[in-house]
Structure 1
Amino acid sequence: MFLYLNVLLLIGFLGPLALGDILVATPKGTVRGRELLSPGNRTFYGFTGIPYAKPPVGELRFQAPVEADQWEGVINATQDPNECFQVNSDSERENENCLFVNVFTPTLNVSAKLPVVLGIYGGSFRSGSAGYGRGGPDWFVERDIVIVSFNYRIGPFGFLSTNDIAIPGNAGLKDQQLALKWTYDNIAQFGGDPKHITLQGQSAGGASVTFQLLNLRNEGLIKAALVESGSAICPWAYLSGPNNLNYAQRLATVVNNNSSLGNNSGEFIKEFLQGVEARNIDAASAILYSQGIPLPTLEVEHDGAFLTQSMYEQLEAGQILKVPIFIGINSEEYISLAGNLENLQNIAKRYDSDNLKLVPRQFSGSNATLAAKLIKEAYVGSDTFSNKLGAMVQFYSDSSFTKSIIRFAELYSHFSPAVYFYQFSYKGPMGIYEYAIDGADNVAHGEEGHYMSITKAGSFDNTDYTKFPASDVTTHWRLIELWSNFYKYGNPTPTPVDLLENITWPPATEDDPKGFVYLNINETLQLKYGPKSPKYEAWKEAFENYAQRPFVTY
């Protein structure tokens, strides 16, 4: 949504006060903000670069974050903060001292108690940052919503694990949890209501939101959740302990100029990597990029562990925060594969030559053969993927994203007060992406965000409505209306309005005999049943009949 865009430079700290300074006193100290102007000519206030944790350096590298110390004087929170180190990126803006929070608010009246959105950026757990920069949450601030964004550690700095207590893993998820606690403790000073915080995220940010719902220590901090194109049970959102340890060992070896360290214990790896320059670790992660990255993982039991149980099994058992959730998918999450037809053809040939590649690690032996046959028939029947490249795209969209997101929503519906499921199917120039292929839909991963976050890049300016067809502008306002309603009321359609075609959107439940209801957002708004049917039903049948429990992902 409004949080994917890269940001600018460093945090300023301490300076003389000037007449008319915009100051807010937080429990840790005072911050100076700036006035901003929304596209609707509404003045609001931005505070960017407030520390919520101590710099995670030295002995704090790879470890759980520690609350920021109090400060004297005034932090100049008027420029975007450092970015955390990103895998396969080399920017002077990257810095290990990156754990900052940003607040955008229409008022500084502490009595206002406005609804709050805490956004978590995506980026596959290897990239992303938060700030104002070239884009922003202006359209939501215009709706009297307080928007909070923050940086969390990604790549090895955020997710390295040695599969023991030396580097237990999930430091990035723990950063998110501390930022949530900071928001709860501080947001009233910025006009927000700490008892009305909605977590929001897209892609890895969406998965992160659901990871936070799986941590019961967050009870009472989250009012609702909005999840775009991700979930904790997506296969790309998890790495097993042994694979994490293997990555940590390889990372240390590369940092050591590919020379053996002679000791592969977790404690030894931790002490070695905590003693080298951060940019050396960052460079090593780029070298290892094609071999994978560290990800959220199950930790060994210890005080402060974020996640120790299988995500799927924990969700199915209802061991999860039970709040209203707005969750959904885009119509073809992996349509970007159509951007390189030669590569797509090669992928299709590999799947045609070995159908067992169609099923994930939960399937083995003869059950894997049966499941692969079922999945292949669902996409191409007796034909081949080489002859139906659109079906190859559909398979990737569903196996990586949609099946896991739909399943999360179905299971969550057994425990949540309300689950609102959507599919974003509208294709227009404001979405930017232009991928297309016969046999697949065409709305790409992340496309909905361009309708809701201010974007100005080159000649593209989504605040200039004269550059877009009327249907794009209508879709833009519809998404903002739906999202804003949920942020405010926990319901995307609390009352019938013409803009939303007077739809009343009912919560979904897996037990509905008509199917799992969802809102299809296209040129018109339609309530439908059974997202991604019948292919999703084939996946569900495969898991129910042939997969080996317990599941971690789906």
Structure 2
Amino acid sequence: MMYCKLSFITMVCWMFACKGAFVHSDQNHQELSSYPSDDAKQMPNDDISFDDTIASLDDNLAAVEQMEEEKYVHARDTNSKYGADDDPLIVRTKNGRVRGLTQTAATGKVVDTWYGIPYAKKPIGQLRFRKPIPIDKWDSVDPNFILNATKPPNSCIQNIDTLFGDFAGADMWNPNSPLSEDCLYLNVVVPKPRPKNCTVLVWIFGGGFYSGTSTLEVYDPKILASQENVIIVSMQYRVTSLGFLYFGTPDAPGNVGLFDQLMGLQWVHDNIAAFGGDPENITLFGESAGAVSVSLHLLSPLSRRLFRQAIMESGSPTAPWAVISREESIRRGLLLAKLLGCPHSPNSIPLVVDCLRNVNASVLVREEWVTHGVCDFPFVPVVDGEFLTCHPKDCVRNRDFKNASLIMGSNSEEGYYFILYFLTDLLRNEEDIRITRQDFLHAVGQLNPDMNELAKQAIIFEYTDWMSPDDPVKNRDALDKMVGDHHFTCNVNEFAHAYAEAGNNVYMYFFNHRSSHNLWPSWAGVLHADEINYVFGEALNPKKRYLPAEIDLSKRMMRYWSNFAKNG
């Protein structure tokens, strides 16, 4: 159990770089914009007029609205046999041709998009719980067949969050495309004019391995791709028990959600050149469980050759929720089987899997929350001996990882989001929440149910402000730091430190800007995942009416991320 007190300098987005050592002072501060680069790769001008920025965006708004109705002009409603090879929206992949569409970002810039390209066979029927199988060529029967890739793909089966009703701050993370087990698809967004040997960023979404989808509005890549002239790829992968049930057999090997990602990465490496991308310059980036996934690809001997560097937002493989033991994963799987009325003896695993394979997928995931601690997500990666050959802590200790440049960081209030879902009576979604000393002491036990009394007392001692132990605001904020440090911030720092000591370039950020669009109570501060809107450029959408300083912040973050991807 490791907790830590933060010592970051407080500013909107603070970054430092190090090689061979973990830097702790401003003396060694180095911004990502210090990379040798041409004008196209420079940071936005610090003297830029915010009024000019808004005026320029407003000038584009009318054009954006006019083009909105026409953005699907290049798409066909169904898969087609017809289409000329000189059509730039028809791309020949190793599996066959795909037809995309031209879209306009909210800024008025244009991109070409291919939605829902299949990268594996449908994981249904007997393939449920199994590793993905490469998809067959779709033009093997009819060489004239062209796959229509103009509609967002299905989201993988998961539960819908209804705890806060239609509250937009929570509902924004619910899937916005149909739920289905048939979900192994990826999306490619390419700037126009079509580049050659373009830098590629592959986004892996988060969601605790129990939720998430690449199609969320907050992940819309059109602004980032067009603004920074990079190709953005995003993929669906199986979550919940459908992606992470483990019994150590070919029928339920575990980590199949990670194997989905691996197959998606292999597809990108094999095919992205046809879209104008450079297969030797691929950067993975992800947030939360997506960041954990990225870090596990750094550790996996199967993934390392498929990308060059990585960006991890609020996630590390050494987080306590990131990887569980095989024994614990089997225990959870058998408990799920019991709840569903299936055989649940450890001596009858084939019968257990066969029964679970025939349960309706929606019923399966509805019953699977078999854990009881905060951030204790039920079905997550395991050390399976194939994708993961060592526990992340051991991999890090032995430096058994891909040497690569990294960006890592966390937000100032990482814990509140999860406490809001866990202690629903104590931390309600309303203003002016205060926590008495007695409630604080009780909450420590609720948040850490598996800890012994000595450990709980150590946590209380560490996170109590002993100058004012009864302060209800400080007690409330201590709960956030307790959860955020343990589950996110400390392990991010730990992983970054290990990578830097191995001689790698490690760039860190600390995000503490509370967005003017944040819908949660003001005391919740800068929540887990709040930086995503700025990374993908939502602030540049004039319809959203972000503040001028927020537009500038988003431009800077997009430039930091893309310059890193381009230059390492």
Task: Check whether TM > 0.5.
Answer: yes
Q: In structure 2, do the counterparts of structure 1 residues 42 and 346 end up closer, same or farther at CA, with 3 Å as the change threshold?
A: closer
Give 1:325's aligned amino acid. L
Are 1:207 and 1:237, in contact at CA under 8 Å, matched by a contact in 2? yes
Please tell me the residue identity of whatever aligns with 1:412.
Answer: Y
* Contiguous gaps of at least 5 residues in structure 1: 1-10, 456-460, 491-554
Amino acid at match of 1:79: K
CA distance in 2: counterparts of 1:74 and 1:44, whole angstroms: 20
1:295 corresponds to: 379
Opposite residue 547 of structure 2, the aligned amino acid is: P
1:135–1:454 CA contact under 8 A, matched in 2 = no
The answer to which of 148-157 and 328-337 deviates more is: 328-337
Is the counterpart of residue 452 in structure 1 residue 535 in structure 2? yes
**Which amino acid in 1 is paired with 2:395?**
Q
Q: Do the aligned residues in 2 keep the contact of 1:348 with 1:389 (CA within 8 Å)?
A: no
Of 341-350 and 372-381, deviating more is: 341-350
Query: Larger RCO: Structure 1 or Structure 2 (Cα < 8 Å, ≥ 6 residues apart)?
Result: 2
CA gap 1:385/1:242 in 2 versus in 1, 3 angstroms: farther
Return the TM-score normalized by structure 2.
Answer: 0.73
1:108 and 1:464 map into 2 onto residues whose CA distance is 23
Kept in 1, the 8 Å contact 2:246–2:254? The answer is yes
Partner of 1:84: 156
Check 1:159–1:434 CA distance in 2 against 1; reply closer, same or farther (3 A cut). Answer: same
Letter of the 1:411 partner, please give it.
A
Q: Is the 8 A contact 2:116 2:185 kept in 1?
A: yes
Partner of 2:350: 267
Partner SS state of residue 447, structure 1 = coil
**Quick one: distance in 1 between partners of 2:521 and 2:217?**
27
Residue 90 (structure 2) aligns with: 23
Residue segments in structure 2 that go unaligned for 5+ positions in a row: 1-75, 140-144, 162-173, 428-433
Report 1:152-163 matches (<5 A): 152-163=237-248
* Identity value in percent: 29
Q: 1:242 aligns with which of 311, 327, 330?
A: 327
The residue type equivalent to 1:112 in the other structure is: K
2:521 to 435, 450, 455: 435
Q: 1:159 touches 1:294 (CA, 8 Å); kept in 2?
A: no
**How much has 1:434 moved relative to structure 2?**
4.1
Q: Compute the displacement of 1:97 (Å).
A: 0.9
Query: How far apart, CA to CA, are the structure 1 residues paired with 2:353 and 2:525?
Result: 45
Matched residue, 1:47? 114
Q: Distance in 1 between matches of 2:115 and 2:315?
A: 27
Q: How does 1:96-495 map to 2 (within 5 A)?
A: 96-107=181-192, 112-131=196-215, 136-142=220-226, 143-163=228-248, 166-256=251-341, 265-285=348-368, 293-301=377-385, 305-336=386-417, 337=419, 343-344=426-427, 349=438, 352=441, 368=455, 372-373=457-458, 376-381=461-466, 384=469, 387=472, 388-430=475-517, 432-437=518-523, 442-453=525-536, 463-464=541-542, 467-490=545-568
Q: Which amino acid aligns with 1:272?
A: C
Structure 1 425/353 Cα, relative in aligned 2: closer, same or farther at 3 Å? closer
Find the residue that maps to 1:446 and give its secondary structure: coil
Measure, in 2, the Cα distance between the counterparts of 1:189 and 1:444.
39
Task: Identify the range of structure 1 (161-170 vs 413-422) with the bigger mean alpha-carbon deviation.
Answer: 161-170
Post-superposition shift, 1:378?
4.8
How far, CA to CA, are the matches of 2:449 and 2:397 in structure 1? 20
| Matched position secondary structure for 2:243 | helix
Q: Residues 385 and 24 from structure 1, CA distance in 2 versus in 1: closer, same or farther, beyond 3 angstroms?
A: farther
Alpha-carbon contact 1:48-1:131 (below 8 Å) kept: no
Q: CA deviation at 1:253?
A: 2.8
> Could you tell me how far apart the structure 2 residues matched to 1:71 and 1:278 are?
27
RMSD over equivalenced CA pairs, Å: 3.2
Aligned to 2:5: none
C-alpha change, 1:308 and 1:423, in structure 2 (3 Å) is same
Deviation at 1:125, TM superposition (A): 0.8
User: How far apart in 2 are the matches of 1:39 and 1:216?
Assistant: 40
Which of 172, 175, 178 is matched with 1:93 structurally? Answer: 178
Q: Which deviates the most, 17-26 or 374-383?
A: 374-383
Given residue 356 of structure 2, which amino acid in structure 1 is its aligned partner?
Answer: L
* Matches of 1:358 and 1:26, distance apart in 2: 49
Corresponding residue pairs, total: 460
Distance 2:211 2:78 in 1: 26
| 1:237 alignment partner, SS class | coil
Residues 487-535 of structure 1: CA distance to partner in whole angstroms, max 9, x if unpaired? 2112xxxxxxxxxxxxxxxxxxxxxxxxxxxxxxxxxxxxxxxxxxxxx
- Structure 2 residue identity aligned to 1:468: Y
